[in-house]
Amino acid sequence: MIEVRGLTKEFGPTKAVEDLTFTVQPGMVTGFLGPNGAGKSTTMRMILGLDKPTAGTALIDGKPYHDLKQPLRTVGALLDAKWVHPNRSAKAHLQWMAASNGIPMSRVDEVLRLVGLTEVAGKKAGGFSLGMSQRLGLAATLLGDPKVLLFDEPVNGLDPEGIVWIRKFMQRLAAEGRTVLVSSHLLSEMALTAEHLVVIGRGRLIADTTVKQFVDRSSESTVRVRSPQLDALRSALTSHGLTVREDGTSELGGALIVLEATTDVVGQIAGGQGIVLHELAAQQGSLEDAFMKLTGDDVQYHAAGVDDVMGGAL
């Protein structure tokens, strides 16, 4: 179990993490979700004792990382897959790690087998593809058979096959009863991988919920409606209490997006006022759209021109 309480990290004037409190339970994959710069890596580094919190605590199985007697046997972490010595073979790299942590050499062959690298164990790690490096990184995290695992953006840059492999592997580790925390900036990926979600934006907690609840809440319906009488349509819809925004993506011009509405309601309101419609379509919000809306106020950097779409969502 990982327990984060009031965790805060300031880098000079930047508050990278602000009063963050959450618990990561064993037996399931927990997704740690947030846009770039939200503070995910900093939080993970504090959990692992690599960064000192400005305030608050992060405990692994009830203890701060530095108080763990055999850290590698308690927690495994994959923060950056490309840190291995390029001229060392995969096996030599793991043997060196095992030796410096009092782990029996027999475990090296075991973890190589677990991640499917037995065949290339003697090859230099510097020549590995990203997918293979990622597997080697996983093998290293598993050396001490830890109960707690942290992965920072493990599928970044991988091909679809590599992504599916890592996803299944993490789910298997969780099914074995381990605590698995995986960071990502992609809700769609986490929806497939995780059971629980901790969502942050600008270092603050936004949601701590099951994936199912988060997805259900996020994928509310909207209606897209195109009309040559846009002004009349807009005032008819808003006077019925509906929230409307311009559809900036429409190439044909003159389209509105009506939030939390059905095509029946929009059609009826337009018909009642004799407004001509050229198009009326229900849209199921994409998960990423919903995520953007939810974290919109907390996104540190985003493209110009999207503020009006994302603003005020929280």
Segment near ligand ATP (CB under 6 A); pick from 33-41, 142-150, 214-222, 262-270: 33-41
Of the residues 7, 16, 191, 270, which one makes contact with ligand ATP according to CB under 6 A? 16
Contact 81, 141 (CB under 8 A): no
Residue of 24, 40, 135, 173 that binds ligand ATP (CB under 6 A): 40
Q: Which stretch binds ligand ATP (CB under 6 A): 40-48, 60-68, 101-109, 221-229?
A: 40-48
CA separation for the pair 146, 141 (Å, rounded): 8
What contacts 100, CB < 8 A, 6 or more positions away? none
Q: Which is nearer to ligand ATP, 35 or 76 (CB)?
A: 35
Query: Which residue do the tokens 């009006």 mark?
Result: 308
By CB under 6 A, residue 155 contacts ligand ATP: no
Alpha-carbon distance of 224 to 282, in angstroms, equals 6
Residues 74 and 146 sit within 8 Å (Cβ to Cβ): yes
Q: Nearest CA to 196 among 213, 215, 216, 210?
A: 210
Site for ligand ATP in 259-278 (CB under 6 A): none
Phi and psi of 235, rounded to 5°?
-70, -35
42 binds ligand ATP (CB under 6 A): yes
Q: How many Å apart are CA 229 and CA 292, to the nearest integer?
A: 30
Would you give the distance in Å from CA 128 to the centre of its chain? 26
Residue 199 or 255: which CB sits closer to ligand ATP?
199
| Beta-carbon count within 10 A of 68 CB | 18
| 50 is a site residue for ligand ATP (CB under 6 A) | no
Nearer to ligand ATP by Cβ, of 178 and 185: the residue is 185
Query: How far apart (Å, rounded) are the C-alpha atoms in residues 56 and 222?
Result: 41
Q: Does 53 bind ligand ATP (CB under 6 A)?
A: no
3-state secondary structure of 246: strand
34 binds ligand ATP (CB under 6 A): yes
Q: Contact letters (x/-) for ligand ATP, 86-125, by CB under 6 A? A: ----------------------------------------
β 179-184/148-152 pair status:
parallel
Site for ligand ATP in 167-196 (CB under 6 A): 185
In the set 38, 58, 142, 149, which binds ligand ATP (CB under 6 A)? 38
For residue 133, state whether it binds ligand ATP (rule: CB under 6 A).
no
Two tokens at 14? Answer: 């930047």
Binding mask 286-305 for ligand ATP (x = CB under 6 A): --------------x-----
Binding footprint of ligand ATP, residue count (CB under 6 A): 13
The binder of ligand ATP chosen from 1, 6, 11, 168 (CB under 6 A)? 11
Cβ-contact 190, 198 below 8 angstroms = no
Stretch that binds ligand ATP, among 39-47, 103-111, 115-123, 288-296 (CB under 6 A): 39-47
Report CA Rg, the chain: 24
**3-state DSSP percent of the chain in helix, strand and coil, to 5:** 40, 25, 35
Between residues 11 and 83, which has the closer beta carbon with respect to ligand ATP? 11
For binding to ligand ATP (CB under 6 A), which residues are involved? 11, 14, 16, 34, 36-42, 185, 300
